[in-house]
Amino acid sequence: LFARECTFMQGASGLDHLPEASLTEVAFAGRSNVGKSSLINALTGRNTLARTSNTPGRTQELNFFNLGGRLVLVDMPGYGFAQAPKGLVEKWTRLVNGFLKGRSVLRRAVVLVDSRHGLKDSDRDMMKMLDKAAVVYQVVLTKADKLKAAELDAVHARTLEEIRSRVAAHPTLIVTSSEKGTGIPELRAELASLA
Considering the rule CB under 6 A, would residue 30 count as an interface residue with ligand GTP? yes
Which is closer to Mg ion, CB of 35 or CB of 183? 35
Residue 30: contacted member of ligand GTP, Mg ion, none (CB under 5 to 8 Å, by partner type)? ligand GTP
Check binding of 59 to ligand GTP (CB under 6 A): yes
115 binds, among Mg ion, ligand GTP, none (CB under 5 to 8 A by kind): none
In angstroms, give the least distance from the CB of 77 to ligand GTP: 6
Query: Of 53 and 172, which CB lies nearer to Mg ion in the complex structure?
Result: 53
Residue 56 binds: one of ligand GTP, Mg ion, none (C-beta under 5 to 8 A by kind):
ligand GTP
Query: Which three-class secondary structure string do you get for the chain?
Result: CCCCCEEEEEEECCHHHCCCCCCEEEEEEEECCCCHHHHHHHHHCCCCCCCCCCCCCCCCCEEEEEECCCEEEEECCCECCCCCCHHHHHHHHHHHHHHHHHCCCEEEEEEEEECCCCCCHHHHHHHHHHHHHCCCEEEEEECHHHCCHHHHHHHHHHHHHHHHCCCCEEEEEEECECCCCECHHHHHHHHHCCC
Interface residues toward Mg ion, by CB under 5 A: 36-37, 59
* Number of residues lying near ligand GTP (CB under 6 A): 23
| 115 lines the binding site for ligand GTP (CB under 6 A) | no
Pick from 25, 29, 33, 123 the residue near ligand GTP by CB under 6 A.
33
Residues that bind ligand GTP (CB under 6 A): 30, 32-38, 52-54, 56-59, 78, 142-143, 145-146, 177-179
